[in-house]
């Protein structure tokens, strides 16, 4: 499996219609609900076959350091997954032996600041959003993951499929014991 070297995304800056914006906003809300419900069967159906799901790891650097830690796909990334790899992660959960997931983690994904733009490609749209993902587990374990996303969604029949997602998490030291969550 070969992967691209850079995360490419459109720069049209052209807002989508009210109707499209509404449809895609509802789509990312629906996706968040599926993740909250651990409805991974439903979630995978929202993912395109050529998916790129990318969360780069970002070090603290001085402003004068111009290293591109965000778009360079050859750098370290907590997620740099295609659809097959996402399915491998899900298959671990389905084995019934992922002990750290039982009792279940309680999730809430809050999605805000949604903007929808047209792209150069017919039927593909760029969607910006922010997320606040809250997790609570066992008695008092909790953590909050906050960040930005930029997605490409593609029309697929009456619905949309996620083609590309870049997630920028704001942590340097991850202040929780894993990133076992889809954002």
Partner 1 sequence: MDVSDLVDTTTGRQKRTIYSNEELYKQELERIFGRCWLFLVHTSQIPKAGDYFRTFMGEDDVIVIRQKDGSIKAFLNSCTHRGNRICRADRGNAKAFTCNYHGWSFAPDGSLAGVPLENEAYFGELDRSKLGLVQVTHVAEYKGLVFGCFDPDAPSLEDYLGDAKFFLDVWLDAMPGGTSLLGETQKMELGSNWKLPVENVCGDGYHLGWAHAGAMSAVQSMDLAGLSVGNSSTNLEGGLSVAGMNGHMALTSLDGISGYAFYPEPKPMMDYLEANRPTAIERLGKVRGEQLWGSQINITIFPNLQFLPGLNWFRVYHPKGPGKLEQWTWAMVENDMPDEMQAAILDNQCLTFGLAGLFDNDDGDNLAACTEQSRGWRTAQMDVFTNMALGRSGPRDGFPGDIAAGLVSEHNQRYFYRRWQEHMQAESWAEVPTYNINSLSVEEPENA
Q: Which parts of this chain interact with partner 1 (CB under 8 A)? A: 1-3, 55-62, 65, 69, 74-81, 85, 88-89, 91-93, 95-101, 172-180
When the beta carbons of 18 and 175 are compared against partner 1, the nearer one is 175
- CB of residue 149 to partner 1, shortest distance in Å: 15
Cα torsion angle, 152, 166, 37, 170, sign: negative
Nearer to partner 1, 88 or 121 (CB): 88
Which phi and psi angles does 170 have, rounded to 5°? Answer: -90, 0
Alpha helices (H) in 76-165, listed in sequence order = 83-94
Strand partners, 79: 55
Q: Which residues contact 114 (CB under 8 A, 6 or more apart)?
A: 21, 24, 25, 28, 127, 128, 129
The nearest distance, CB 171 to partner 1, in angstroms, is 8
User: In angstroms, what is the minimal distance from the CB of 12 to partner 1?
Assistant: 30
Closer CB to partner 1, 76 or 110, in the complex: 76
Q: Which is nearer to partner 1, 18 or 173 (CB)?
A: 173
């Amino acid at each position: 499996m070969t992967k691209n070297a850079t995360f490419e995304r459109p720069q049209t800056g052209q807002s989508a219609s009210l109707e499209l914006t509404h449809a895609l906003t509802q789509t990312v809300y629906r996706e968040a609900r599926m993740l909250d419900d651990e409805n991974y069967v439903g979630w995978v159906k929202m993912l395109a076959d050529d998916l790129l799901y990318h969360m780069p790891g970002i070090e603290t650097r001085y402003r004068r350091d111009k290293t591109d830690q965000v778009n360079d796909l050859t750098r370290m990334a907590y997620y740099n997954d295609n659809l097959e790899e996402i399915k491998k992660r899900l298959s671990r959960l389905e084995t019934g032996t992922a002990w750290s997931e039982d009792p279940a983690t309680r999730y809430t994904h809050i999605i805000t600041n949604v903007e929808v733009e047209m792209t150069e490609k017919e039927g593909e749209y760029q969607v910006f959003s922010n997320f606040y993902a809250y997790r609570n587990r066992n008695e008092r374990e909790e953590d909050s993951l906050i960040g930005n996303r930029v997605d490409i969604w593609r029309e697929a029949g009456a619905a949309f499929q996620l083609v590309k997602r870049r997630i920028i998490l704001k942590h340097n030291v991850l202040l929780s014991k894993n990133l076992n969550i889809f954002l």
